[in-house]
Amino acid sequence: MSTVAIIGAGTAGTLVANRLAKQLPRNDTIIAIDLDNSHLYQPGLLFLPFGKANPAKLVRPRRGQLSQRVTYIQALVTKIDPKENTVYLVDHPPLHYDVAVIASGSKIVSDETEGMTGDGWLKDAFTFYTLEGGTALRNRLENFTGGRIVVNVVDMPIKCPVAPLEFCFLADAFFRDRSIRDKVEITYVTPLDGAFTKPVCSSILGSMLKDRGVELVTEFNTGSVDYQRNTLVSFDGREVPFDLAVLIPPHTGAEYVFHSPGLGDDFGFVPTDPKSLVSKVAKNIFVIGDATDLPASKAGSVAHFEGEVVSHNVQHFLNGESLEEAFDGHANCFIESGHSKAMLIDFNYDTEPLPGNFPLRFGTPLLKESRLNHLGKLAFSWVYWHVLLKGRDIPLIGSQMPTSGKRFPAGEVRSPLSTQSRDR
Ligand SMILES: Cc1cc2nc3c(=O)[nH]c(=O)nc-3n(C[C@H](O)[C@H](O)[C@H](O)COP(=O)(O)OP(=O)(O)OC[C@H]3O[C@@H](n4cnc5c(N)ncnc54)[C@H](O)[C@@H]3O)c2cc1C
């Protein structure tokens, strides 16, 4: 009789709990812990500022997403002691585990950037990465009649690294639809050397920004936000003025990771084996989703692909069997590009997003804007609540990137499970 403690019941924690509920013997105990009872559908936050998502409909009770077999504890985790196999919680006795699954995601740390949460916060500067921020930004955009909008990724890694670009595309469409696009300047400011990390995709996304008249400022490492002059200032003294700033603050791992001996790196992410998803700190701790230090995207789709491997490996560990080394960094993302179109990208640790079709030769177009992809993006909400969170598999789409529909450059190695590339 074993106890599996899952820390965090967001996307990754919920789907792994539900998978384990189907897999583990009845006499094993599965516990999921989270600090509140509101499960937020984060991909919906992108549409919120443009009045295309109802905030109330993005949230559902956390308990309701978990199998009846899972014991849910609503409490804040303050520490894990990997040597004592114990989780410490607020207002709850310490919990002993045989296996722990860390699924506590990443959090945005707006206070880390000088000035960000000063006078102009929620007046002239917003983030759509939270429900409150997205709702406040919606009200500001509704009344925006012209000026300079700056969308700034302060630092990497961030959740859903394409979301800030999607915001630019949707903002362009939003102001065109209101016939005031000529009165609005949109600038995308990034610490990267291009629009995105992966070269082919970066070049395509860069062209899409250009086509829409969005200025691109690269290698800008934001040091402070000055609301006296409504200006972003980089560490090397460059300045970008704004009337309205849409900021994506830096991300770290969950707070308790910093207080748990040996568990995390300097940024609170948990060192993780890239293929088996076991932690590097203890053989009975697995890591899934945004909480890992892996060079995979921090995305719900990635958590879904990892879920298959983590749930199998928890079972292998409990049975004393060797672990599967089956995750290849597979990530999959629809990029909303405005006016009911979207583009699909599919990649892994080693293969950057390539053109072709997905998942097979006659599937959805890759790296190409289409209405079909936009419908796929909208359908993702239903898939999220009814397939991903339930821990169900999607035929042909799993922990390893499908290769058959992709157009590989001549001579490229297709080794499914190597991890040379460290881009996120
Ligand atoms: C604007 C936006 C758009 C996005 N769009 C997409 C998209 O289109 N496609 C896609 O695949 N992904 C998208 N994502 C990313 C996706 O939502 C995340 O990558 C995914 O939710 C990660 O799952 P997770 O379980 O690791 O983290 P989360 O879902 O964030 O869950 C972590 C959980 O841990 C809990 N927790 C943290 N610390 C503690 C503690 N100390 N005690 C108890 N509980 C704790 C939290 O309360 C939370 O519920 C988007 C994200 C954003 C912000």
Q: Does the beta carbon of 47 lie inside 6 Å of ligand 1? A: no
**What CATH number belongs to 110-251?**
3.50.50.60
3 state DSSP class of 290: helix
The region of weakest confidence among 202-211, 248-257, 403-412 is: 403-412
Cα(146) to centroid(ligand 1), Å? 33
Mutating to test ligand 1, I would choose from 31, 87, 102, 160 the residue with most ligand atoms within 8 A of its C-beta, which is 160
Burial (CB count <10 Å: 0-12, 13-18, 19+), residue 13: buried
Cα(300) to centroid(ligand 1), Å? 7
pLDDT, average across residues 380-396:
93
Q: Does the beta carbon of 289 lie inside 6 Å of ligand 1? A: yes
Q: Is 90 exceeded by the pLDDT of residue 362?
A: no
Cα(305) to centroid(ligand 1), Å? 15
Q: Does the beta carbon of 163 lie inside 6 Å of ligand 1? A: yes
pLDDT, average across residues 361-387:
93
Give domain 3-108+253-318's CATH number out of 3.30.56.10, 3.30.360.10, 3.50.50.60, 3.40.50.720: 3.50.50.60
Give the number of other Cβ atoms within 10 Å of residue 145's Cβ. 8
Residue 413: the pLDDT is: 53
Give the number of other Cβ atoms within 10 Å of residue 401's Cβ. 24
Burial (CB count <10 Å: 0-12, 13-18, 19+), residue 176: middle
Contacts by residues 169-175 (CB-CB < 8 Å, ≥ 24 positions apart)? 169/208, 169/212, 169/335, 169/336, 169/337, 169/338, 170/46, 170/47, 170/50, 170/336, 170/338, 171/50, 171/141, 172/212, 172/213, 172/214, 172/338, 173/338, 173/339, 174/50, 174/141
Atom of ligand 1 nearest to the CA of 256: 41
Q: Does the beta carbon of 257 lie inside 6 Å of ligand 1? A: no
Query: Percentage of residues in the chain with pLDDT exceeding 70?
Result: 97
Q: Which residue's CA lies nearest to atom 52 of ligand 1? A: 42
Residue 397: the pLDDT is: 84
Q: What are the pLDDT digits (tens) for 295-347?
A: 999 999 999 999 999 999 999 999 999 999 999 999 999 999 999 999 999 99
Q: Does the beta carbon of 157 lie inside 6 Å of ligand 1? A: no
Give the pLDDT band (50/70/90) at residue 424: very low
pLDDT, average across residues 254-283:
98
Q: Does the beta carbon of 160 lie inside 6 Å of ligand 1? A: yes
Atom of ligand 1 nearest to the CA of 76: 42
C-alpha torsion sign, points 57, 59, 63, 69? positive
Q: Name the residue ranges covered by the structural domains of the chain.
A: 3-108+253-318, 110-251
Cα(160) to centroid(ligand 1), Å? 10
> Does 110-251 match 3-108+253-318 at the fold level?
yes
Q: Which residue's CA lies nearest to atom 11 of ligand 1? A: 300
Residue 197: the pLDDT is: 87
Q: What are the pLDDT digits (tens) for 95-112?
A: 999 999 999 999 999 999
